[in-house]
Structure 1
Amino acid sequence: MEKNKLFRVKGITFIFCVFIVFTSLAQRDATKAIGTPYVGVQYGLNWTGGDLADRYGLTNALGSHAGYKTKRNWIYGVDGNFFFGNDVKIDGLLQNLRDANDHIMNTSGTPAIVLFFNRGFNVNLSVGKILPVFNPNPNSGLMIKVSAGYLWHKLRIETQEDEVPQLQGEYLKGYDRLTIGVNTSQFLGYNYMADRGILNFYAGVYFQQGFTRNQRELFWDHPNEKVDKDLRIEHLFGFRVGWLIPIYKRQPKEFYFN
């Protein structure tokens, strides 16, 4: 049974690789802009600003995207991104569980190892334009893109192999600072699409604005403080790079032989 599963996984991987090579190496006319669907992946390294900076610092973003580039070099797409990092700056976090030595004890009566991470994701619709600046071909150049969509993030708490009942299951909701809202973003960079081959990428600077609100009614480590339900203005800004897989149609051959 395990061998069959392994065979299926290898088969799917092989087909996917063949698909990438087939679509990437398809011949296309490099003298004009071409309309084509595309898929891809992207990574960003971001710093925080606004109300987000009071909770988290340096944040990574890993995502995927798909869309369509028109013959006029307009780009319409959808993307989803997963945010993650371990730079947590929340004041008084878990202070109700700490002893005089600032330890959180596990069920064995010894200090537990408690780790903190920020986690989140967004899903967006986007529109962009490739401008003919420093372009080796009509499908490359300066790229400007704007996006808008849904944003969700929270604090993730892990106790590794330590058992801390106060940090398990439903109890975590009192500490996770769950925050939900919408976001907008802007990207300015350079987009390169090769005449043939798999070297299709973009890179540039990224700026995101989040308009969110706290979703919990009480923070258990600050029980005497009212949870602020006012609109939070949260910023992310940094660098983003992405790899594209254009799905070009093969050009018809000039000559045919019987």
Structure 2
Amino acid sequence: MKTILASVLLTFQFFTIVPVTKNIDLNHKTVTGMFQFLPWLGAFMGAVVALIFEGLQLTNSSSLLIGFLMAMAFIIWTGGLHLDGFTDMGDAYFSYQDVKKRQEILDDPRVGAFGAMALLFLVLTKIIFLTELVTQGILASYWLIFVPFLARTALGFYLVWTKPSKDKGIGFFFRTHIHLTQYLLFTVVSLLIGTALIMYWAHTWIPAVLVGITLIAVVCYKMWTKKNFGGASGDLYGAFIEGTEALLWITLLCLS
């Protein structure tokens, strides 16, 4: 029970702005548990955002304002942690350097022009598509819960299937402190349960289609990062979550 609680607290500590000040030991059990809980943290974050969405529905707020607030709510939840990874990935990839140089750019805390443009494009994409989903009456609480849940569940497959690009850094530490088989099995179970619940709630097969699109994205992202960065890293984990969420909003609009 203590290990479970420690893992949950670690998930909030590392992936949200919730101020968890307790000093928790990072060992194989707690790190594995932290990542196992991550999809459900996404669902919890989405549930809070969904409450805000339902409240805004009772006002005369415009679709643009609601779309903007939904996008910003998720950013605030994470403190921009994953956006930082997406920005670094943009800087590294569009440098058009070799793999080793791109790895160095990923580690550079400074933001370049390409990273800033990638960040702007991502945020605008989310705002625009969320706004359009609101305008067309498609956005619902269950989508606000399912999209962050699915993006973080998919991270589990990418993390297990993709070796680290280097033998140092936070990404390498996490990857080497996870019981991969146990984590993968738990992730599969979480995916099945979460998808079934949302399909029952939404009365549609669209969640299953989104799962299929996401798994294809995992495979493509794995090949792309291996080719351009030599493997996975902490920044690329965060970039994957942000990029997958954007892809899911785009796909949801197209399917609906």
TM-score range, shorter chain: under 0.3
Higher relative contact order (CA 8 A, sep 6+): 2
Structure 1 or 2: more helix by fraction: 2
What TM-score, normalized to structure 2?
A: 0.26
Structure 1 or 2: more strand by fraction: 1
Radius of gyration: which is bigger? 1
What TM-score, normalized to structure 1?
A: 0.26
